[in-house]
């Protein structure tokens, strides 16, 4: 007698949603260093060796970089890292335009993100459109005189993400005199 399996009813197909959270959670200052390297200031969010970041500017995606070096740095009581990132061959495809930043951690295929142009009402902010809809999804805000420590005024650097409930702060660094 041949082996057989009984028929099993499986029901209907159901889509189960999963919110993976924000695609990117950090914005870093970035500068080109030659044809295939960038320098990154890892502030206010820490960075790790081997981490991948997407470099974008006002025109969109430029390159994906891998952090290859970390150098500890300090400004008064604030500790952060200066990092070096490497772009795989053939290197940076073009010069940066319109306030380039590195955003991370990089996951999957790079999206249609770009740095939005500055405006008078957004002074001190760098706004990033992550998904290409023209609206900011990630923000970096530099505020002068946001706090005080021992009678000295501090500047604050904050990273914000927009989710379904509105804007939420992800990171903050208070920057005092670098003595």
Residue range 35-74, pLDDT digits in tens: 899 999 999 899 999 999 999 999 999 999 999 999 999 9
Residue 102 clears pLDDT 70, i.e. is over it: yes
Decide: 109 and 97 in contact? Cβ < 8 Å: no
Closest by alpha carbon to 51, among 103, 129, 113, 116?
Answer: 103
pLDDT recorded at residue 27: 94
CA-to-CA distance for 30 and 42, rounded, in angstroms? 9
pTM of this prediction? Answer: 0.82
Q: Which residues contact 52 (CB under 8 A, 6 or more apart)?
A: 64, 65, 66, 67, 104, 105, 106
């Amino acid at each position: 007698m041949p082996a057989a399996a009984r028929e099993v009813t499986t029901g209907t197909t159901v889509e189960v949603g999963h919110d993976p959270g924000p695609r990117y959670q950090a914005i870093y200052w970035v500068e080109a260093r030659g044809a295939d390297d960038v320098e990154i200031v890892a502030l206010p969010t820490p960075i790790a060796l081997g981490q991948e970041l997407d470099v974008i500017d006002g025109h969109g995606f430029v390159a994906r970089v891998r952090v290859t070096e970390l150098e500890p740095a300090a400004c008064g009581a604030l500790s952060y890292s200066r990092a070096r990132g490497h772009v795989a061959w053939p290197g940076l495809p073009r010069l940066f335009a319109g306030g380039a930043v590195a955003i991370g951690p990089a996951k999957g295929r790079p999206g249609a993100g770009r740095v939005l142009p500055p405006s008078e009402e957004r002074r001190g902010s760098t706004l990033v459109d992550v998904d290409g809809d023209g609206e900011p999804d990630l923000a970096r805000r530099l505020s002068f005189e946001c706090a005080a420590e021992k009678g000295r005024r501090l500047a604050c650097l904050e990273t914000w993400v927009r989710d379904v409930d509105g804007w939420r702060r992800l990171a903050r660094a208070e920057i005092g005199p670098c003595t």
